[in-house]
Amino acid sequence: MMATSVHFRLGLLALLTAVAVGAIAFVLAIRERPTDKYHTYFDESVQGLDKGAMVKFRGVRIGKVTHIGVALDHRLIDVEMAIEPRAVDLEYLKPKLRAQLATYGITGVKLIDLDLVTPDTPPPPALAFIPPRNYIPSRPSVLDSLSRRLDVISARLVVLLDRSIEGIGEIREFVSSADDAADDVRDLVRHFDQTTARLDKLIVNADKVSTAAEDVAHSTNDLVRTTTELVRNTTESSSNLQGTLRDITDAARAVSSFLDALERQPDMLIKGRAGRHHP
């Protein structure tokens, strides 16, 4: 009798528990808020993002992740979100929204953060299919953006390193050319010194030539004076010679007249030259 009473009590307790659980589930189902389904597509790994993860708008919880799968292009990751329509007017904000993976706390658990687009926001991934009506474009996560920037920086560093190596080679060539140029400058300076020495000698010789020219000029002046005096003396001598020649000419004429007269009158020397007698 006692055993039957215990079993009855246990069965009644189990029944009441089941009824209570069913009532609680029913109440929760009745009180569950309506949601709208939205999709976003990520072009990166969603490791750490699980079904039921929070969806926030600028830090305010507005829904949760209901499904995670591979998109139709077998490249992007399709994430379905259940958003409470009373939390935020996504129909109005949807053209300006971007979905981004974010890390919650230090545990590495991921969530989806919705935020407004800014001028420096990267463009969303290109879709090879037609998205559903409730589509929110995504943007790279901070880690993915950092990784991509690091890749770009690494590529640029490689290019910069190559250019640096080329620049070092050019610097070496420049240094070698500079050494050659320095040797050429030294040769030029040496030739310039030699040329300067030659110019000094030439100047000294020019001074000597100038002195000799002055001596020649003095000698020439003396010669001119001497020549002038000689010409003057020659002129005077010529005048005297002309007088002498005139005298000689007159004497020659007188002698000639005398000889003519002597030839006509041979005895003139005895008689003397007879005067002219007119009959």
**Contacts of 145 by beta carbon, 8 Å cutoff, 6+ apart:** 122
Per-residue pLDDT tens for 74-123? 999 999 999 998 888 878 888 889 999 998 877 778 999 999 988 888 99
Q: Does residue 155 sit within a domain?
A: no
β pairing state of 109-116 and 54-57: parallel
pLDDT at position 237 is 64
| Cβ-contact 46, 75 below 8 angstroms | no
Nearest to 102 by CA among 154, 157, 57, 160: 57
The per-residue pLDDT for 81 is: 94
Structure tokens that stand for 82 in this block: 């259940």
Phi–psi pair at 92, nearest 5 degrees = -80, -40
113 found inside a domain? yes
Q: Is residue 1 part of a domain?
A: no
Residue 44's domain spans which residues? 33-139
Q: Cβ(112)–Cβ(79) under 8 Å?
A: yes
> How many domains, in total, are found in the chain?
1
pLDDT, position 278: 43
Distance between CA atoms of residues 180 and 186, nearest Å: 10
- 186 within a domain of the structure (yes/no): no
- Would you say residue 45 lies in a domain? yes
Alpha helix (H) residue ranges in the chain: 2-31, 90-93, 142-264, 268-271
> Which residues of the chain carry a pLDDT beneath 50?
30, 273-279
Q: Could you tell me if residue 191 is inside a domain?
A: no
pLDDT at 277: 45
The half-sphere exposure of 163 on its side-chain side, counting CA atoms within 13 A, is: 6
Q: How big is the CA angle at 46 (ends 41 and 52), to the nearest 5 degrees?
A: 90
To the question of pTM greater than 0.75 for the whole model, the response is no
Q: Encoding tokens for residue 98?
A: 């971007």
In a domain, 174, yes or no: no
Q: 3-state class of 56 per DSSP?
A: strand
Residue 126 tokens, joined: 């290109």
Query: Could you give the CA distance from residue 132 to residue 76 in angstroms, rounded to a whole number?
Result: 15
Res 4: pLDDT: 65
